[in-house]
Every structure is written in C-alpha cells, then in structure tokens.
C-alpha cells in the first residue's frame, strides 16, 4: 500500500490517504495505529502532496556505500556512522530547495528512507518488520563546503529545506536490492542498488535503536551512493527509488526569494 499526506488547497485540512493508481482514498485514523480505507475517488493531480511524515528526528547514515566514501578519500566506518538532521529541514514533493547564502557548494544525495511505524528501543533483528511502516524517497541535501569546514555536520546538513521527503510511503517494499537514482535537469548523476549498502536495513534499525528510542514517524536516511554533485539556482533535482516512486524538487538561491 502507498500512504500519503495531502491537502486539497492551502487553506484545507491535512489528511492521510492511500493511493490506488492515480486516485486517492481517505485513510480514516492513523497509519501508526488503527485505520480504515475509504473508496479511492480523489484525483492525485488535484491535490497538494505533503512530506509523508512529520518526524521527531531524522537519523542519517554517513559513508554507507563504499564507492561514495571513496569519492572523498575515506574508508567505510567499522560501525554505522550516525548523524541527525533537524525536523525543520523537511519539505515535501515539489517544494523548493533553498540554497543558503552561507554556502558556495550545495549538493544532492539520493537516499532510500525508512519510516518507523512503531516505537522501539533495542529492537532485535527478528522484530524489525513490526517497527517499520514502510519506505520513502529522500534527498540528503548537503552544504559540502560547510560540512568539511566544521568538525561535525550539523550546519552543513541542517539548513531549512535540506530534507525533501516523499512522494508517499510504500509499505510493501523489499529494500534489499532496489535502484537508487538521481537526475539533475534530466541528466543522470547517481545510480546504484541498495545491495551495495555497507550496513543494510536489517542492521541499521537495531543499531540506531540501541542508542535512541525510535518513535512513530521517525525517518532513517540510509546513506547515498557515489555521484553526488552540485545543485545551482534554477536546477530541478529528481530522486527515484525503484518500487517506491520519484521525488522532484526545484532549486533556487535563497536570496532570490527575499
Ligand atoms: Zn547522506
């Protein structure tokens, strides 16, 4: 099933829905608890899709693909390398990625995202599927110059609009071997399978939950493959996860919108 958050207009209430081809049905209840599915009668192209969750935190993986670590001359870490993005960075499908004036090098990072369904701590490998609601598409937008200038990554990874998520949550994906693709203005930048991940989904959820409680709606970004590159004013960046969907966002210089 594909689960999405949407509204019919800027003044309309935000609703949960489920997708049947190009039609949306209302989800009565919460995808994190009990719900009933209504008949799918709303045209997908008549609504505004929102980021599919409002996470309490976004836990991210650094250097989780060998070829990406090698791009920056690094080895892959012995244990998963974690960092956080703030919830204020989240934007939805079609929303604009704003290039902050403090950076001269903002880059895309195409990533598969895990959406947590049930609260958990010390989640054992056998229980992981009970705690995962599904998967969505993410772009771990990064101010690369600031990431390298600072000793840690909060500033470089944490600007508003630096975490596009969407367009929906796919609950039936097997994440072991799906293609992660990034296009900028229609030109291929990144393409690799999740089978190349150093630490797969089955290990990540247990590892992260041994550190912090995972809450319903929390998001885990599973790392980016090789091929990261710059975004400039006027670009359109498109990230696709095979079996989930495509997340498209325009890119603008923040100063132009002041
Ligand atoms: Zn990343």
CA dihedral 21, 217, 180, 79 (to 10 degrees): -160
What proportion of the chain, given as a percentage, has pLDDT over 70? Answer: 99
Q: How confident is the model at residue 256 (pLDDT cuts 50, 70, 90)?
A: low
Task: Give how far Cα 75 sits from Cα of 69, 180, 195, 210, Å.
Answer: 6, 21, 18, 24
Q: How confident is the model at residue 146 (pLDDT cuts 50, 70, 90)?
A: very high
Q: How far apart are CA 87 and CA 57, in angstroms?
A: 6
Question: Comparing C-alpha atoms, which of 113, 120, 109 is closest to residue 207?
Answer: 120
CB 38 within 8 A of CB 26: yes
Q: Report the chain's mean pLDDT, rounded to a whole number.
A: 96
CA of 203 to the centre of ligand 1 (A): 17
189-213 mean pLDDT: 97
CA of 185 to the centre of ligand 1 (A): 20
CB 144 within 8 A of CB 156: yes
pTM value is 0.96
List phi, psi (to 5°) of 250: -75, 160
What are the boundaries of each domain within the chain?
2-50, 58-253
CA of 44 to the centre of ligand 1 (A): 29
What proportion of the chain, given as a percentage, has pLDDT over 90? Answer: 93
Q: In this predicted model, what pLDDT tens digit does every residue of 82-138 receive, in sequence order?
A: 999 999 999 999 999 999 999 999 999 999 999 999 999 999 999 999 999 999 999
Residue 242 has pLDDT above 60, yes or no: yes
CA of 31 to the centre of ligand 1 (A): 26
Candidates 3.40.50.880, 3.30.70.3270, 1.10.150.120, 3.90.850.10; CATH matching 58-253 = 3.90.850.10
CA of 108 to the centre of ligand 1 (A): 9
Q: In this predicted model, what pLDDT tens digit does every residue of 166-187 receive, in sequence order?
A: 999 999 999 999 999 999 999 9
Q: How confident is the model at residue 72 (pLDDT cuts 50, 70, 90)?
A: confident
Residue 218 confidence (pLDDT): 98
CA of 224 to the centre of ligand 1 (A): 5
122 three-state secondary structure: coil
CA of 145 to the centre of ligand 1 (A): 15
């Amino acid at each position: 099933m594909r689960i999405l958050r949407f509204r019919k207009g800027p003044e309309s209430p935000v609703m949960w829905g489920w997708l049947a081809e190009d039609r949306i049905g209302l989800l009565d209840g919460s995808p994190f608890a009990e719900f009933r599915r209504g008949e799918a009668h709303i045209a997908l192209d008549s609504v505004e899709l929102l980021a599919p969750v409002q996470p309490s935190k976004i836990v991210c993986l650094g250097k989780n693909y060998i070829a990406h670590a090698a791009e920056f001359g690094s080895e892959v870490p012995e244990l998963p390398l974690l960092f956080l993005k703030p919830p204020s960075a989240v934007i939805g499908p079609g929303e604009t990625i704003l290039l902050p004036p403090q950076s001269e090098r903002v880059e895309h990072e195409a990533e598969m995202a895990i959406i947590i369904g049930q609260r958990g701590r010390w989640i054992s490998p056998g229980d992981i599927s009970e705690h995962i609601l599904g998967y969505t598409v993410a772009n771990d937008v990064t101010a690369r110059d600031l990431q390298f200038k600072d000793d840690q990554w909060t500033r470089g990874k944490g600007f508003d609009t630096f975490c596009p998520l969407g367009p929906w949550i796919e609950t039936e994906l097997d994440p072991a071997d799906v293609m992660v693709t990034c296009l900028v203005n229609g030109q291929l930048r990144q393409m690799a399978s999740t089978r190349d991940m150093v630490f797969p989904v089955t290990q990540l959820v247990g590892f992260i939950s041994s550190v912090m409680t995972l809450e319903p709606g929390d998001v885990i970004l599973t790392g980016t493959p090789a091929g990261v590159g710059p975004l400039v004013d006027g670009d359109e960046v498109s990230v696709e996860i095979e079996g989930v969907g495509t997340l498209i966002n325009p890119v603008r210089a923040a100063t132009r919108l002041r």
